[in-house]
Chain A
Amino acid sequence: MIKNSLLVALAILATLASSGCGDGRAHSQAVYMLVDTSGTYAQESSKAVKIVSYLLATLNPGDSLAVAKVESRSFTEKDYVARVTFDNRPSHATEQKRAFKAKIEAFAKNTKGSAHTDITGGLLQGAEYLNETKAGIKTIVIFSDMEEDLDKGAVRDFPIHLDGIRIVALNVTKLGTDNADPRKYLDRLSRWEARVRKAGAADWVMINDLENNMDSILGRH
């Protein structure tokens, strides 16, 4: 009887081993959101809060979320607004989500516009954060007009690595110059797309209709 039970247990273990024991992190998602605070775009911060709320509502226990601002030089830990890896227990995760939202709301109230916009630095820091989480699905959400304006001395013209990371550009507003010449807007977008794809990004998605296409942020159509 005991022998049979042992055999059955071994068979189950062998089946599990052959099917590949699951790694919890491989099933989790990690999202890094860059919020542009430069110039007039800082006024859009209320929309950013809505997006963070959506992400908080959608992400599950075990997932990671970080929000960082895009400033004159964005490759620094100081730019993190909030970051969290949700606890495995749903009740704790809910508490963490509440605290996270409070931090984001406080940030949105006290946003100060920066002189320059370093999106590349933010992307580099985002990729670093996401790779550290070892999540199965990694997404960088860029809440910006995608107009990069680097500070003097900031070096960003080198190849970057975004292997396996989805890049989602949100609320890419048109600038005054874009209205005069729409090619500038289109060129700007195609340039960014080419750059992130060359960097090895898994996907490039642009969403301007935040009311109806929110589900596309995490690739849920």
Chain B
Amino acid sequence: MNWNSLLIWPSNVALSLLALFLLATVLLYAARRQMHGVIHALCHMVASSMRVASRWLFLSADTVRERNRMVLLAQGESEASAHIEREFERIANIVRKDLQEYPSLQRKLMEEVTRIEDDYRRCGEVPPPPPEWVQALESVSQIKSGGDIPRKLLEDIHKSVQKIHDKTVAEFRRSYEERHKILKSLMPTWRSVSKSMEEMDKKMISLETNGKQIDDHMSKYESMRAKDNKAEHALTVSGFVQFAISGLVMVIAMGGAFINFKLIALPMSEMVGASDYITNNLKTSDVAALVIILMEASMGLFLLESLRITSLFPRIASMDDRMRHRLMLAALVFLIILACIESSLALMRDMLIADKASLMRDLSSSAPPAQESGLLTHIPMAGQMIMGFVLPFALAFVAIPLESAVHSMRTVLGSLTVQFMRALGFLCRLIGVAFRRLARVLEMTYDITIVIPLLIERMVGASGFSLSDKSHQPKTGRAS
């Protein structure tokens, strides 16, 4: 475009520009009211739209938050009730397995206590019979006439007493010995009683712990039922923590999957061809290796699902036990087959690498290849094979963090959506306020371009006549 064509007098640029400036000023001054109106209307339109958008976003955020809250609390209630059910099941198991033996245990205890009492009674000390010869001795001592008779009597008595004493002492010792034996035989009974009591104690403590846990879960459940903010907050935090932990575990699992991929990508090229491409940059062998790994993960998922460790597929969870058992066996068999395939691929990889190394040696020199130690070369091969067999099973457990991530993702995404909507709402409101102020700024900017006519108008206005004001005034006749 030639700018000279816009000039009134192309030979005199300055004069042409001045004339154009004056013309523009007059036109802009004449259109001042309309332009102000346009600026105001445009800015108002944008500001109003933004305000409406902001309000809608905030309302939507509240709705989404409320929905999230409902879902979160329902989810939390379901989880808490599942926990409570599980605790009750545990208590029922304890009661059924352990405390159903309580009557027999009590009987056993009572029998043992009775036995202990009997034995205790039996080992009581029997006092020796009172000496009957004491009275005879007293009678002999009262005989006043002397002679040998009393002496002989006393000697006979002494002898008899001595005999009786010896006999009594022997009897006393024997009975003590018997009592000691009885007491000794009591020891296992005491131990048995003590053991039974300890077992009882443990079971009671376990029951008490379960009871406390049920109390905790019940209090959580109640706060959820009451739609408590604290419970909602706790559930949200728990969701984020679960998401982060499961994400971390899944990243680790992805590292394992990557190693797995590296292990089988090369040998897969032997099976599906090294120079086949699915897309411009995607090798068929790489895709095949990836498919094997994904199949392993899927089989692991089905295995854990059929074992009821995870519950991602309601169809599997609702299957009857026989079918579920069959599915579990099928998944396990497939997983073992895939692990065997992977192990053999790892072996093939080692062979291919060795073959390539041998070729490189051949190409680089004509000397015969050096003989390597058999054991040392077999260690990496065995390692690769073991890794190839073990990694699919390790990968199978990725279903657990996956389930956790899927469940917690609803909470995380819901919270992030609410925050995003609020941020967007705030931004809209900010833009609305800015546009409301912008209208005034643009009006003033417009006035700067026509400052000379405005000054003239002000001067004329000061003398009592205003063109623009006059033009602004509504016609009273029409208004009425």
Contacts and interface: CB of A to CB of B under 8 A. Distances in A.
A21 B275 contact: no
A97 B273 CA distance: 17
Nearest to B280: A22
A98 B362 contact: yes
Contact of A91 (B270, B273, B275, B282): B270
A24 B275 contact: yes
B356 A21 contact: no
A97 B269 contact: no
Can you list the 5 inter-chain pairs with the closest CB atoms, starting with the nearest?
Answer: A62-B275, A22-B277, A88-B273, A61-B274, A53-B363
A22 B363 contact: no
B280 A101 contact: no
Main secondary structure of the interface of A (DSSP, over half): helix
Interface in B267-286: 269-270, 273-282
B153 to A, nearest CB: 120
13 contacts: A20-B279, A20-B280, A21-B279, A22-B281, A24-B273, A53-B363, A56-B359, A61-B274, A62-B275, A88-B276, A91-B352, A91-B355, A101-B363
B356 A90 contact: yes
Interface in A22-70: 22-28, 53-54, 56-57, 60-63
A146 to B, nearest CB: 27
Given A61-B274, A90-B269, A91-B355, A16 B362 contact: no
B278 A57 contact: no
Q: Which among A27, A28, A63 has the greatest number of chain B C-beta atoms within 10 A? A: A27
Given A90-B356, A91-B355, A24 B270 contact: no
Nearest to B274: A61
Contacts, number: 76
Contact of B275 (A28, A97, A98): A28
Contact of B277 (A24, A63, A97): A24
Q: Most A CB atoms within 10 A — which of B275, B281, B282?
A: B275
Contacts of A60: 274-275
Band of interface residues on B: 20 to 34
B476 interface: no
A183 to B, nearest CB: 39
B272 to A, nearest CB: 8
Contacts of A22: 276-282
Contacts of A94: 355-356, 359
Interface in B340-371: 351-352, 355-356, 359-360, 362-364
A24 to B, nearest CB: 5
Interface of B: 266, 269-270, 273-282, 351-352, 355-356, 359-360, 362-364
A18 to B, nearest CB: 10
Given A22-B276, A24-B276, A24-B277, 17 more contacts: A16-B278, A16-B279, A22-B279, A27-B277, A27-B280, A53-B363, A53-B364, A56-B359, A57-B363, A61-B273, A61-B274, A62-B275, A90-B352, A91-B355, A93-B274, A94-B359, A97-B359
Contacts of B362: 98, 101
B413 to A, nearest CB: 22
Contacts of B280: 19-20, 22, 26-27
A89 interface: yes
Contacts of A98: 359, 362
Query: What interface size band does chain A fall in?
Result: 20 to 34
Nearest to A54: B363
Nearest to B352: A90
Chain A CB within 10 Å, residue with most, of B279, B351, B352: B279
Contact of B279 (A19, A57, A101): A19
Contacts of B277: 22-24, 26-27
A41 B96 CA distance: 98
B275 A88 contact: yes
Contacts of B359: 56-57, 94, 97-98
Interface of A: 16, 19-28, 53-54, 56-57, 60-63, 88-91, 93-94, 97-98, 101
A60 B277 CA distance: 14
Contacts of B269: 61, 88-90
A20 to B, nearest CB: 6
Nearest to B366: A105
Contacts of A21: 278-279
B273 A89 contact: yes
B352 A61 contact: no
A25 B275 CA distance: 8
Nearest to A88: B273
Contact of A89 (B270, B351, B363, B364): B270
A29 to B, nearest CB: 10
A145 to B, nearest CB: 26
A183 B264 CA distance: 56
B355 to A, nearest CB: 5
A50 B219 CA distance: 81
Contacts of A26: 277, 280
Nearest to B278: A22
Given A22-B280, A89-B270, A57 B360 contact: yes
A53 B279 CA distance: 31
B287 to A, nearest CB: 10
Nearest to B282: A22
A56 B281 CA distance: 23
Contacts of A54: 363
A28 B276 CA distance: 10
B240 to A, nearest CB: 30
Nearest to A22: B277
Nearest to B363: A53
A45 to B, nearest CB: 15
Contacts of A27: 275, 277, 280
Contacts of A88: 269, 273-276
A53 B360 CA distance: 9
A62 B273 contact: yes
A61 B351 CA distance: 16
Nearest to A85: B275
Contacts of A62: 273-275
Nearest to B358: A94
A101 B364 CA distance: 11
Nearest to A25: B275
Contacts of A20: 279-280
